[in-house]
Amino acid sequence: MARDGCVDGAWPSLILVKRMGNVPSLDVVIVNWNAGEFLARCLQSIQGTAREDVEVRRVVVVDNASSDGSGRDLNFPGLPLQVVSNTLNRGFAVACNQGARGTSAEYLLFLNPDVRLQLDSLRIPLRFMEDPVNGRIGICGIQLLDESGHVSRTCSWFPTGASVLWQMLGLDRLFPRIFRGHFLKECEHQESATVDQVMGAFLLIRRALFEALGGFDERFFVYYEDLDLSYRAKRCGWSSYYLASTQAWHKGCGCSDQVRDIRLFYSLRSRILYAYKHFSRSAATLVLLGTILLEPFSRLAWAGLTGSLAGMRETVKGYAMLWRALPSMVAVARRERWHVHSMGTD
């Protein structure tokens, strides 16, 4: 697959799959890492979806060296299930690309193992994507509900250098009318709309677009890989759409809750890499400096104010990992800036 797909403003020339039947075809890719019982529930929910309007060709579980046995002995009659077992945790982006490799389906659904689909969770978004009116929509997400049945905030804006800095300072929480947060407001998740990005927990994408973009950028171990994919699709003339007319259940942080300090590290690392990939050099450098010099103290202050000793420990551990990883991160950032400049998109 080509690296990063088209350049700014270019409409990719996609070779669409010739349909053999009357319904769209779909591959489902699930990346598993110690998801426990969530994975089995997710697969059971796929079994229970209405599939008369969709051909599910493959359900691929890519197990990233789970130690809890959740990726073994999976038996779900009626599902075209395939399991790819990695001997080490290769990260979310790499595993997603592994699961998508060799697909011939028209659509790919990247699904978190802590998601449980409802009856129409596949049928309605695919019907929406098949409508000729929506031919320039490349990515679709649906409404995700938390365990209490409340609508989760899953759609976000594309970040800028300024927005990242004010979010570091918590200005979006202190003055929400002035400083926009990363995620759309709760009220904005009640209606279907074109959005910048839908969360990768349920990300339906046209397979030809995914391949034209070169798949997920594997330099993002976890976090920001879905944001990066959506941003590159947008630059190529494709839009993302949030469909509120159907739902799925989403636990949220089901696997990463086990390792919150590591989760913080990878989130900060991915943010810095994203900044150096898509922001100007000066903005990316401000994000880097703010992340390593400013944000740890704002996080510790917030944890102290809320009386969260665990939050303070996680912050210290997460940032210790980040500071140790800085030399290799700077090297990756320099290579990324060279690549962007050489492609003429700086």
C-alpha distance from residue 272 to each of 31, 163, 283, 289, 325 (Å): 24, 14, 11, 10, 12
Each residue of 151-209: pLDDT tens digit? 999 999 999 999 999 988 888 888 888 988 899 999 999 999 999 999 999 999 999 99
- CA separation for the pair 19, 317 (Å, rounded): 51
Average pLDDT for the chain: 89
The answer to whether residue 2 scores a pLDDT higher than 80 is no
Task: Using pLDDT thresholds of 50, 70 and 90, give the confidence band for residue 346.
Answer: very low
* DSSP assignments along 141-208, one per residue: EEEEE-TTSPBP--EEPPP-HHHHHHHHTTHHHH-TTTS--SBPPGGGGSS-EEESEE-TTEEEEEHH
**Of 5, 17, 8, residue with least CA distance to 108:** 17
In the chain, where does the domain assigned CATH 3.90.550.10 lie? 25-254
Each residue of 78-92: pLDDT tens digit? 899 999 999 999 999
**Of 108, 118, 51, residue with least CA distance to 78:** 51
Q: Which two tokens stand for residue 59?
A: 């359900």
Q: What are the strands, taking DSSP E only, across the chain?
A: 25-32, 55-64, 81-86, 107-111, 115-117, 137-145, 155-156, 193-195, 197-198, 202-206, 239-250
Which CATH number, 3.40.1410.10, 3.20.20.70, 3.40.50.300, 3.90.550.10, labels domain 25-254? Answer: 3.90.550.10
pLDDT number for residue 131 = 97
**Of 119, 144, 129, residue with least CA distance to 207:** 129
- Whether the Cβ atoms of residue 123 and residue 51 lie closer than 8 Å to each other: yes
Number of C-alpha atoms within 13 angstroms, CB side, residue 296? 17
The answer to whether residue 36 scores a pLDDT higher than 90 is yes
pLDDT number for residue 306 = 81
pLDDT number for residue 7 = 46
- Whether the Cβ atoms of residue 54 and residue 123 lie closer than 8 Å to each other: yes
Q: Give the pLDDT mean for 237-255.
A: 89
9-18, 102-111, 142-151: the lowest-pLDDT one: 9-18
Task: Using pLDDT thresholds of 50, 70 and 90, give the confidence band for residue 279.
Answer: very high
- CA separation for the pair 223, 203 (Å, rounded): 14
39-48, 257-266, 318-327: the lowest-pLDDT one: 257-266
pLDDT number for residue 329 = 77
